[in-house]
Homo-oligomer: A and B are copies of this chain.
Amino acid sequence: MPRLRELGVTPGRLPTGPLNAITDVPGVKVGHVTLIDGQGTLHPGSGPVRTGCTAILPHDGNLFRDKVNAAVHTINGFGKAAGFEQIRERGSIETPILLTNTLNVGQVADALTAYMLRDNPDIGLSAGTVCPTVGECNDGFLSDLRGRHVHQPHVWAAIENAQGGAVAEGNVGAGTGTGCYQFKGGIGTASRRIFDGRFTVGALAQTNMGRREELMVLGAPIGQHFLESHMPETPPGSIMMVLATDAPLTSRQLTRLAVRAGFGLARTGTVSHDGSGDFVIAFTTTLRRPHSPDDMVRQELLFTERGEDINVFFTAVVEAVEEAILNALCMAETMTGRDGNTLHSIPIDKLAELLAYYKRR
């Protein structure tokens, strides 16, 4: 399957990073664990399994010792995301960010806690507690959601296998069993370079939202051309959006970026349905907060929000989120899961034709 740009389109006006991925932000790593097992009739607790988890690491040091400035934004709060209260209060993230399926958040949060405990023997003792950050989508149309099949070894493997470089998209990790406008979706990513490459903004999406008829691709009403083919009766879906940048933004400034992720989402057509947990997590890799600072105050390089500068970030976020979602859509292959339920890949050739018809390529 191709990424969106391979269809000959150029979304947005800003240049991408070299990989057009969240890993274009220096130091950011992504790891997936993909769980595909069994087929046929659902036996809750046993399978079939079409799920997984995805880990995003803001840097490859010890995140608990060297936390990153961060923010969260809730567009529609019908979801089970973990860690948001502390991120709001402290303006920082201190663990890898894990994405998984809806009913697995408890187990994944526990596994992530255990991972942090392993590497930080003073957590729970002299170093206080640790706050796992977890997001989710509901992959129960294809997978045995009730089985909660993502266990500690999967979480640890996703973290430990995380790497920079190109990011696998589509039916991988937390996107293994998820949809996108009633097509198959999954993981997608994109990036933008701004200020002549001085800073990078990256986005990664775990898609599961939207009704077919709503789908817009670069503004074209694509969904309306696919109303009759392969239309599954999927349950309400969600989306997790993760933003990364190497600009030294405060949590307030990161919150402003996170709000703009909703604009990128809106451009793909959804109205953020009632049952859709639409969340954004944003972090910077360069404004860090040591767990134990040496001094009460210290010098930091800060972004000044001068004039139009932050608008460039806003545009980068909107473009990267829109493209990350569409990359998830394009890169996902048709998948059949429990009870023969199938989420079809969007027909790429027809999509390309329609984009030409609508003068988008």
A39 at interface (Cβ–Cβ under 8 A)? no
Contact B309 A298 (CB under 8 A): no
**Interface flags, A104-129, vs B, CB<8A=1, else 0:** 01111111111001000101111011
Contact B297 A293 (CB under 8 A): no
Knowing A81-B85, A272-B314, the reply to whether A111 touches B103 (Cβ < 8 A) is no
Say which one of A56-64, A215-223, A329-337 lies at the interface with B.
A215-223
**B residues less than 8 Å from A251 (CB atoms):** 250, 252
**B residues less than 8 Å from A273 (CB atoms):** 308, 311, 314
Q: Pick the residue among B121, B148, B259, B296 that contacts A195 (CB under 8 A).
A: B296
**B residues less than 8 Å from A309 (CB atoms):** 296
Knowing A106-B108, A260-B271, A272-B263, the reply to whether A113 touches B75 (Cβ < 8 A) is no
Q: List 29 A-B contacts (CB under 8 A).
A: A79-B85, A80-B83, A80-B85, A80-B132, A82-B109, A86-B277, A103-B129, A105-B109, A106-B109, A106-B112, A106-B132, A110-B110, A114-B148, A123-B146, A126-B235, A248-B297, A256-B274, A259-B272, A274-B308, A289-B304, A293-B306, A295-B304, A296-B303, A296-B309, A298-B304, A299-B299, A299-B300, A300-B300, A300-B302
